[in-house]
Chains A and B, each alone.
Chain A
Amino acid sequence: MSFSDSILAGLSLVANFESFLSLFIGVAVGTVAGAIPGMSATMAVALALPFTFSMTPITGILLLLGVYKGGIFGGSIPAILIKTPGTPASSATILDGYPLAEKGQAGKALGMALWASCTADLISNLSLILFAGWLASFALSFGPPEFFALILFSLTIIAGVSGESLLRGALSALLGLLLATIGLDLIYGTNRFTFGNPNMMGGLNFIAVLIGLFAIPEIIAMVWDPKAHEGKTRRLGEDRVTFQDYKSSFRSIVRGSFIGVFLGSIPGIGAAPSAFLSYSEARRKSKNKANFGHGEVEGVAAAEAGNNGVAGATLIPLLALGVPGDVITAIILGAFMVHGLQPGPMMFVMNSDIIYGLFVGLIVSSVFLFLIGSVAIKGFKYVAEIPRGVLFPGVMVLCIYGVFAVNNNLFDVGVMFAMGWVGYFMARFDVPTAPFLIAFVLGPLLEDSFRQSMLMSGSSPAVLFRGPICWFFWGLTCITVFAIIRSGARAARQSKKTEFVRQTP
């Protein structure tokens, strides 16, 4: 099927009222959720997932993608107005967004955030359309040893970049891999850690683990400190963004978008580093360098372009290779599985209409984001004033219903509560939860590809290094581990030096 045939097949699948309504609702829900301090895009996507069970695959996944895109932009609203990023990806937006709000130019900062987000989102979606198909056709030649090397590389990079310590990230990933071994053995069908409980024979439910890890810890944190995230909302002011402002920041927006696309297509990097890199590049190259950090609208544009440029690109490894690049794409991978689809190179052959339907939907989502974002900026005051004492009990009830609805099983609700406490204590001990969840999703694939490789080769480990693709991923894994260890050692030396200087009178 040619590219234009695929696009037409996708268009025929999504060109209906139901799909566009679902996408529109998704973007609106995501924007509102991202704008509420304490909620995040991840939590919003996780909570929206159970509502997609009764939908067709394309409608359900479009809803989740809408929530994702809306959530990333929504996070910039509280970052600018109350100096509290709605999502971690919006941390860089605070640097110039809040000083602008203090000067009474919050409307200008939010307007620029919206323009930059929509531009970056469009560039990111076009990159996804261009590169995902190409990568998938390359990945069709992958066998179990190549997939083993690829997943191992993804886990290494995710564990390494998810926190300040490689060891804590690795511990988190190992715990996720161990949890994924619960259930019946993939080859022999014998019990592993099921304790004779039939509820555990199919393994722990992915959605119970995911909502437990990403929504319940926020509720527990709110119970620990109910006054956290309270801030004073700034007024929008009279000043609005102009086309001249957009034009003067355009170079930074495009640069930031491509930084986002590049970093987003590598599993594990995420939106926050991309936003900071885009911001620092814009500051380095800008004529108004000195104004950065004191309320420079170009700084807001660069940070927002950096974090929104990631949104479409993280879907490249997900759709082309079946490997989630971050937590949200891991949830979207779960949504594909719930609907009986397995992302990866074969999906481009078997379900190309769905893939290209999603591409069409993503392009439309940029337009919806612009429309909804313009309204959300003005309506933020009402969203920010939802009392947390009412919001979070509502989230808890939503979690209970959502998790129960997956398998009609109360056992899953218990798993969710237990994972909530695990997630909370992981956060207290600075152990990142992202590698845990991604390893939990990839664990069975990793073990399966390893054991299939062993079956193929008569248990010879040489099969894991059988060709250039395997060597390539093993090489990348070694380089990544070396780079992470080196940067960790450098950071430790730097902190020791700082401490020595501080102690010297």
Chain B
Amino acid sequence: MNVRSNQMKLGIGAVVTAVFLLTVAIPFWVSSPTNVPNIVLAPTFWPQILAAVTGVTGVGLMVFSSRRRAVTSTSGLEAEEKGAAIFRMIGLAAIMGLALLAMPRLGLVWTAMLVFAALAFLVRTRHPGIVLICAVAVPLILYGFFAHVAGVAIPQGHFVRLP
């Protein structure tokens, strides 16, 4: 990855974020009473200051990126391995998204078991037997601790309920 272009991208990202905050996010999503005696006490003042400083920092990053050398750093993976790595990342994002959807329906314990197994097989574990045992045991042990020792109401889902 090119360090100079990275810094330039960061700078552009910071400026875009600052402009978005100042023109859209703060006016629409920060509510302020009309009778605020002074601007510095308004709920919008602090986010505006932060957004402005973010914009200035972004400009600074862009200016200084043009002075940097275009050093290329390696990510440690060969080109053909990168495709598989990206595929695994998409898989991980899908596991996270599906887990969030499944937790209220299946319950935290069963979802955690599925997440454990899916994640281990996503990275092609060489110990499938150990993974399956741990995928069942770890969520159950944690359920035992949090539900019965710490008194946390672990979501049980609609299907199989645990004591």
Contacts and interface: CB of A to CB of B under 8 A. Distances in A.
Interface of A: 50-51, 53-54, 165, 167-168, 170-171, 174-175, 177-178, 181, 185, 187-188, 190-195, 219-220, 222-226, 228, 387-390, 392-394, 396-398, 400-401, 404-405, 408, 410, 413-414, 417, 420-421, 428-431, 447, 450-451, 454-455, 459, 492, 495-496, 499
Contacts of A390: 120, 125, 127, 130-131, 134
A185 B43 contact: yes
Nearest to A492: B67
Contact of B57 (A171, A219, A398): A171
A73 B131 CA distance: 29
B142 A171 contact: no
Interface in B82-131: 85, 88-89, 91-93, 96, 99-100, 103-104, 108, 112, 115-117, 119-120, 122-127, 130-131
A70 B6 CA distance: 36
Contact of B30 (A171, A191, A387, A413): A191
A444 to B, nearest CB: 10
Contact of B100 (A187, A220, A410): A410
CB-CB nearest 7 A-B residue pairs: A389-B125, A185-B43, A54-B150, A393-B119, A459-B38, A226-B123, A393-B116
B125 to A, nearest CB: 3
Contacts of A429: 6, 9-10
A170 B57 contact: yes
Nearest to A159: B57
A51 B146 CA distance: 8
Given A193-B29, A224-B85, A404-B108, A397 B116 contact: yes
Given A54-B150, A174-B50, A188 B115 contact: no
Contact of B76 (A167, A194, A219, A228): A228
Given A193-B30, A393-B116, A455-B41, A167 B57 contact: yes
Contact of B112 (A188, A397, A451): A397
B61 A168 contact: yes
A387 B126 contact: yes
Contacts of A165: 7, 64
A405 B50 contact: no
A171 B54 contact: yes
15 contacts: A167-B61, A168-B7, A171-B58, A174-B53, A185-B43, A188-B33, A190-B32, A192-B47, A225-B85, A393-B115, A400-B115, A405-B152, A417-B96, A454-B41, A492-B67
